[in-house]
Amino acid sequence: MNDESLCAVPPMAVYDMIFMPARKDEDFIEDFEVTMASFFTALSGKNRIIFETENICKQGAHYVARITAPFKDALEEKYDDKYVKKLREKFYSLLEKEPELEYVGEDICYTDCVCGGEEAQDYILCIFPHLEDISPIRCGQCWSNIPYYLLPELSEETREELRNWKSVYFAYDKLFYATDIGEMGAHKMMSKVDSRLNKKGMEICRKLEKELGKPVYYYIYRFYGKHGKACPICGGEWKEPQGAITDYRCRKCRIVAHERS
Ligand SMILES: [Zn+2]
Ligand SMILES: [Zn+2]
């Protein structure tokens, strides 16, 4: 990979968000906890935090949520969409005062996995197993995942299609890694350009292109066997020169691949 093509990626930041509900009675707490869960789920849906419900604990009357943010300013209100804004307002109205945010340190799990996408001339739709919570849209310059909140807003329809396709892809991925029963079938589904899974992925890429305003390449996974010299869709040359971000790329069919995934 060419160093000049790499985007600047600061380490992800871990925070404790500390807050206290305004009242202690049972009915209030019930409503408070539901709102709190919706607020964090909404932030996580936009990749502004990486978070699981079990990351919240109680310290006396306070609640502490340990969250990982892709960038230090990811929690700032300037990134709120209408939905998050509404939930934030409701959540804050149930608190004694605005939450405190304490910086804990640098994340060691996801660091180097995300970039802001500012340098991206194109995107790559590609799923890799350990990043289930982050957007599968990668920066074409540095190969990192770009959090949803830093991409142009996607339509509800495209978001839903992407979400569904992603779950199916992960199901095949698990089948491939976890069992010898489903291994070859899953590999075929992920490596053949005409499988239903990949055709759907490429269809989503065309929708993403319209909404993101830049070319979106589809990543063809392959673990066994070799990619041929010719693009598996149009038959044209698709081998990339050394130092390119992927080993294969067909600009016409908008697909990319590595020698071995
Ligand atoms: Zn990048
Ligand atoms: Zn082609």
Going by DSSP bridges, is the β-strand pair 123-125/216-219 parallel, antiparallel, or unpaired? parallel
pLDDT tens per residue across span 229-247: 999 999 999 999 999 999 9
Look at the pTM and tell me if it is higher than 0.75.
Answer: yes
What is the whole-number distance in angstroms between the Cα of residue 134 and the centre of ligand 1?
Answer: 14
Q: Which ligand is in closest contact with the Cα of 236?
A: 2
Ligand having the closest approach to the CA of 220: 2
113 CA → ligand 1 middle, Å: 10
Cα–Cα distances (Å) from 17 to 40, 102, 145, 198, in that order, read 11, 6, 25, 40
Ligand 1 centroid from CA 141, angstroms: 5
Residue 103: beta bridge partners?
Answer: 15
Q: What averages of pLDDT result for each successive group of 10 residues across the chain (261 residues)?
A: 61 93 95 96 93 88 94 93 96 96 89 87 88 87 93 95 95 89 94 98 98 98 93 97 95 95 79
**What is d(CA 145, CA 117) in angstroms, rounded to the nearest whole number?**
8
Contact 251, 233 (CB under 8 A): no
Three-state SS for 137-181 is EEECCCCCECCHHHCCCCCHHHHHHHHHHHHHHHHHHHHHHHCCC
Domains, the chain, ranges and CATH? 3-106 (3.30.70.100), 123-257 (no CATH)
Q: Looking at the CA of 251, which ligand is closest?
A: 2
Ligand 1 center to residue 214 CA distance, Å? 14
Query: Which ligand ends up closest to the CA of 141?
Result: 1
